[in-house]
Structure 1
């Protein structure tokens, strides 16, 4: 996994703009006037908003311009703080960047964005264009006035197809994926029903091509049996009850683990697995990483057997 989860940076809000209905943009600079940690398309940061409120936001600006730009949809308590309280000149603490959605080299890309899911896709499109790759973007939203970055995307012409649902209906994913050629990578970010639909179609038509990022946890329908976890570095063995996560059990045992979302979407609590078979329930790892079993997100994932050994 890419990124240093432990890097904390104090930033200052240099600019705040209204991007669309219910979406504000923040431009952040290092509070000390220095350089911000570097990032590449697909990266996100944690924003620490006080009172144990931590939210993850994708970086949607230019990796080379020395700032971080966020697009924040007003949805939930964390984003409400951003919309109602955060103004230019305010200082914020951040962690990261971290990248679980990195843009890989490919000759062709299909980008699929729903709503605020356009934020990580925007710098990907710019990178694909700069690399001379063949790419297209299908961007859907509830209505045109609620869709951010339309002016920026207009410079790409017919590579970008904008589909507001109130005018065009739901995205035609079957049509978008029908012509995916071998060697094309598909990047998708948006609401859970959209991502699940794309996953289903790509499994049939373009296995191995899909890369996704979720803003909400996957539905957890797996069994929740108790098991033991050996903490190799701490010399402790802890019981993980059926109604408890590994992260919660480890914290109760007095072992500190860096965590953020606690729902398997951010990658902060990624932990090396030394022995045992994880039952992966996160929205971060790729299929290949899951099959390898070398890491797991201990905030949601569990064990397939009676015991795991973790590097904690």
Structure 2
């Protein structure tokens, strides 16, 4: 009841609550952090709060997608009782029945920022950076909660694209082509990535390098070459870059992720480049990439 866990990178779905809280239930002073979770398709047989129920607690939701939760009472997405403080940031709400967020009793304090919820702009909790629009999902190899994006082959951009809290840096992807999120983070849940990714490799622009799911709080080596794709022998296995090559050590965070922004010279369009790397903590190679600068 009073526990305050951090719940991160989880899928919470297809649960049925006999009372409230088909997906999650917080009460009696819980101050939990729920980050990058997909909370969907939960239900209640009676009562309120199919996705989440909150009693006298103060949870924080960041970069969650809360959708298609159906309550027989109110608060299909989140139901909140008196004595609670709910803070939502960079989340996406869609298809919750009969509503996304509902005060059930008393005067709980609710605030959403940089979040997406169709038809809720007239609600008191609709705060800074919120967008009143349908999210426009797309289905990719990772699942059907990706955001539609012209860059990944859809015909239209989701209104949640690049509209998350600008102070957040999210690892993972909302794209159907599984390229990492870059720049200002997208709203909602991000599917996990593993390995080495390079995006926006365009002459005269800024490319982003992401290494995801490596050894936490350790070192990875990012390596690139204009000469060729190896092979060369390394202490960690075969490297697919040819000398001379550039080696850049990077420090991973507590989740094993690290990102790097690198300017691409304006005169190198059409040039081939090879990327590889190694995870010092696991003594293993990352995935190689062979690309052409656009």
TM-score by length of 1: 0.26
TM-score by length of 2: 0.27
The structure with the greater share of residues assigned to strand is 2
Q: Say which one has the larger Rg.
A: 2
